[in-house]
Amino acid sequence: MTIARKLRMGMVGGSLDAFIGAVHRMAAWLDGEIELVCGAFSSSADKSKQTGAALRLPPIRTYASYEEMILTEKTLPEDQRMDFVSIVTPNHMHFGPAKLAMENGFHVVLDKPVTFSLAEALELKQVIEKTGALFCLTHTYTGYPMIKEAKQLLATGKIGKIRKVYVEYPQGWLTEFREGSNYKQAAWRTDPKRSGISGCMGDIGTHAFNMVEYVTGLKVEAICADLQITVPGRLLDDDGSVLLRFENGVSGNLFATQVAAGEENNLKIRVYGEKGGIEWQQEDANTLMVKWLHEPAQVYRAGTPYLSSFARMGTRTPPGHPEGYLEAFANIYRNFAFTLQARMNGTDAKPEWLDFPGIEEGIRGMLFVEKVVESNASEQKWTKL
């Protein structure tokens, strides 16, 4: 199952004051399958150096730019150079390093949303196909074991044909205008030059959309969107509600907001079929409620023996020892790592290992973003995806 060494990761972005870069590192380290060997942590060479030093990298493996890193690492002996790049920059800086890395023989882990635009996403797919690189998109929330269980449960048909899907993602951290302050997270996420054509929908609406399609296995076919810029002075949507039509006549709705004052990170999904339903909430991530039409609801819990192999694999401790966001993130890294090790070893990856998001999920997300913005501008009710 394992190779005789840890996988070697390089990182693009993720300087000390960034949020998601540190998350990627912890997720990569947790299971002992991956070590960080190099990085181009910032577009500022100084910042990159400082970060590398704090992370105890040798100065020589801390680069001033992603180009330098990729091209230099390529020249290192095979037993030293990085195996893959983890790219954790703002959206407008995804495509460039991902393409360059793959074209130079490195595999890629990429933070979501996949690119700045749908066009870039489609082009990235071609790069992946051409280079044969292994590609992973960190849609964190599908890394939660109980979400994996929900997907497996729905696939068995136990709750019957799916009828209704509700997904919501309320946050409150952009309730006030924080772009003007020195708050890096807010600044780039609300800047069209770095985020793209959408703010809230691109940042967290894509997570909700990804989760819906992942859990149900159904594709959204048409949407009706109403986006808001709630906070005066903001340039991109910070809120939106979307009516959903799926294939097979299934309907639902999605909302995402970053101005729900007092909310933290309250992603929630509910799916109802002919015989029952499921409900999961990220802030109580180790529980999956399974509801039945004629029987008491059941409380499925992470780490228990009655779960599917996909869910069981996503938990490291016995039931009642809560695991959370970092472990969900680590599940994506670990599945990517196991799959990559299998490829290196020339063996088959288990189905459970292949359960991580890739370019198709990325393209669906960018399509969602573009269509949500189009629908919002339209007077027509429905916009096809």
Closest approach, Cβ 29 to a copy of itself, in A, equals: 5
The continuous run of DSSP H or E covering 360 comes out as helix 359-377
Listed in sequence order, the DSSP H helices in 143-279 are 145-156, 184-189, 192-195, 200, 206-216
- CB hemisphere CA count around 246 (13 angstroms): 22
Residue 181 lies near a copy of itself (rule: CB under 8 A): no
Number of Cβ atoms within 10 Å of the Cβ of 78: 6
Token pair in block for residue 278: 């499921």
102, 127 in Cβ contact below 8 A?
A: yes
Total length of the chain: 385
Q: Which is nearer to a copy of itself, 238 or 355 (CB)?
A: 238
246, 275 in Cβ contact below 8 A?
A: no
Residue 318 lies near a copy of itself (rule: CB under 8 A): yes
Task: Build a one-symbol-per-residue string for 197-236: x at contacts with a copy of itself by CB under 8 A, - elsewhere.
Answer: ---------------------------x-x-x-x------
Residue 326 lies near a copy of itself (rule: CB under 8 A): yes
Residue 382 lies near a copy of itself (rule: CB under 8 A): yes
Q: Candidates 71, 306, 347, 384: give the one binding a copy of itself (CB under 8 A).
A: 306
Residue 164 lies near a copy of itself (rule: CB under 8 A): yes
d(CA 141, CA 205): 12
Closest approach, Cβ 319 to a copy of itself, in A, equals: 4
Residue 322 lies near a copy of itself (rule: CB under 8 A): yes
What is the residue whose two structure tokens read 């198709």?
A: 360
331, 142 in Cβ contact below 8 A?
A: no
Token pair in block for residue 379: 């007077």
Closest approach, Cβ 103 to a copy of itself, in A, equals: 30
Residue 256 lies near a copy of itself (rule: CB under 8 A): no
Residue 37 lies near a copy of itself (rule: CB under 8 A): no
Residue 145 lies near a copy of itself (rule: CB under 8 A): no
The DSSP call for residue 359 is H
174, 258 in Cβ contact below 8 A?
A: yes
Residue 384 lies near a copy of itself (rule: CB under 8 A): no
Closest approach, Cβ 89 to a copy of itself, in A, equals: 19
Q: Candidates 130, 184, 321, 384: give the one binding a copy of itself (CB under 8 A).
A: 321
- Who contacts 153 (Cβ-Cβ below 8 Å, separation ≥6)? 159, 278, 288, 290, 308
Segment lying near a copy of itself (by CB under 8 A), choices 89-97, 118-126, 274-282, 346-354: 274-282
121, 363 in Cβ contact below 8 A?
A: yes
Q: Candidates 16, 26, 122, 367: give the one binding a copy of itself (CB under 8 A).
A: 26
Residue 330's closest CA among 86, 57, 18, 62?
86
Closest approach, Cβ 108 to a copy of itself, in A, equals: 22
Interaction residues for a copy of itself, span 60-99 (CB under 8 A) = none
Closest approach, Cβ 72 to a copy of itself, in A, equals: 22
Residue 324 lies near a copy of itself (rule: CB under 8 A): yes
Residue 120 lies near a copy of itself (rule: CB under 8 A): no
Residue 177 lies near a copy of itself (rule: CB under 8 A): no
Q: Which is nearer to a copy of itself, 131 or 375 (CB)?
A: 375
Closest approach, Cβ 75 to a copy of itself, in A, equals: 25
Residue 285's closest CA among 269, 262, 263?
269
Residue 172 lies near a copy of itself (rule: CB under 8 A): yes
The DSSP call for residue 137 is E
